[in-house]
Chain A
Amino acid sequence: GAVVSQHPSWVICKSGTSVKIECRSLDFQATTMFWYRQFPKQSLMLMATSNEGSKATYEQGVEKDKFLINHASLTLSTLTVTSAHPEDSSFYICSARDPPGAGELFFGEGSRLTVL
């Protein structure tokens, strides 16, 4: 299957700082990528849809100024958690479809964020 890679796999930061997570499609181009959030023992919740060359689409209840998404190329999307607080601590996972638009959804390895 297609490979989606995330970096970093884990990050610890102080409250009030910003953290950037990268998501790359390694062997295919992804015009659209999806960012999910997962709390312990809970299901994945879609946060936003990242669109190459245009603004991201956020799900209801997700603060777009808190979670900045940039999709600058066909293989890279970034999620920046701004002014992070302890309640932002979570497991963030990106995904993309291969082939784009109609294929299966493949996930990255996830990024564990801990805000102190």
Chain B
Amino acid sequence: EDQVTQSPEALRLQEGESSSLNCSYTVSGLRGLFWYRQDPGKGPEFLFTLYSAGEEKEKERLKATLTKKESFLHITAPKPEDSATYLCAFQGFSGGYNKLIFGAGTRLAVHP
């Protein structure tokens, strides 16, 4: 069964303290791996899509990387405004083209 697991469940950082969030997946085939940011009471905000192992994408203080079994979201010198829940999702070959399987998310809190 296709599934995605995110770790840690929650992460507390001091402002400027870099870290990484993990998203591991077991799928029969990967069409794409997605990262989203979700603020409380809001819908997810698109961050990145990765399609193949070795691919990397960056946006401001965030960088997403992908291997054959997992993806990392690296946060460099985070600021309090980076506090949010970060969700990863994958799109496999089973279940139809449109279906994304989401992880439970990592709740990130960045303190001044």
- Write the residues of chain A forming the contact surface with B, with a CB cutoff of 8 angstroms: 1, 4, 6, 32, 34, 41-46, 49, 91, 93, 95, 97, 104-110, 112
Are B87 and A43 neighbours in the complex by a CB distance under 8 Å? yes
- Cβ contacts under 8 Å, B49 to chain A: 104
Docked pose: A32 CA to B3 CA in angstroms: 24
Q: Tell me the interface secondary structure of chain A in the complex.
A: strand
Total A-B Cβ pairs within 8 A:
47
- Write the residues of chain B forming the contact surface with A, with a CB cutoff of 8 angstroms: 34, 36, 41-46, 49, 87, 89, 96, 98-100, 102-105, 107
With contacts A43-B87, A43-B105, A44-B87 taken as known, whether A105 is within 8 angstroms of B100 at the C-beta atoms is yes
Q: Tell me the interface secondary structure of chain B in the complex.
A: loop
- Cβ contacts under 8 Å, A109 to chain B: 42-43
Docked pose: A32 CA to B104 CA in angstroms: 25
Docked pose: A74 CA to B102 CA in angstroms: 26
- Cβ contacts under 8 Å, A104 to chain B: 34, 46, 49
- Cβ contacts under 8 Å, A93 to chain B: 43-44
Are B46 and A106 neighbours in the complex by a CB distance under 8 Å? yes
Docked pose: A106 CA to B45 CA in angstroms: 7
Docked pose: A6 CA to B43 CA in angstroms: 10
Are A41 and B104 neighbours in the complex by a CB distance under 8 Å? yes
Docked pose: A62 CA to B98 CA in angstroms: 17
Are B46 and A105 neighbours in the complex by a CB distance under 8 Å? yes
Are A43 and B98 neighbours in the complex by a CB distance under 8 Å? no
Given contacts A1-B46, A41-B107, A108-B43, list 4 more A-B pairs with CB under 8 A.
A43-B87, A107-B36, A109-B42, A110-B41
The 4 closest A-B pairs by CB, nearest first: A107-B43, A43-B102, A110-B43, A44-B102
Docked pose: A105 CA to B41 CA in angstroms: 19
Smallest Cβ-Cβ distance to B9: which chain A residue: A41
Docked pose: A18 CA to B36 CA in angstroms: 31
- Cβ contacts under 8 Å, B96 to chain A: 49
How far does the Cβ of A14 sit from chain B's closest Cβ, in whole Å? 23
Docked pose: A6 CA to B100 CA in angstroms: 20
Are A34 and B98 neighbours in the complex by a CB distance under 8 Å? yes
Smallest Cβ-Cβ distance to B10: which chain A residue: A41
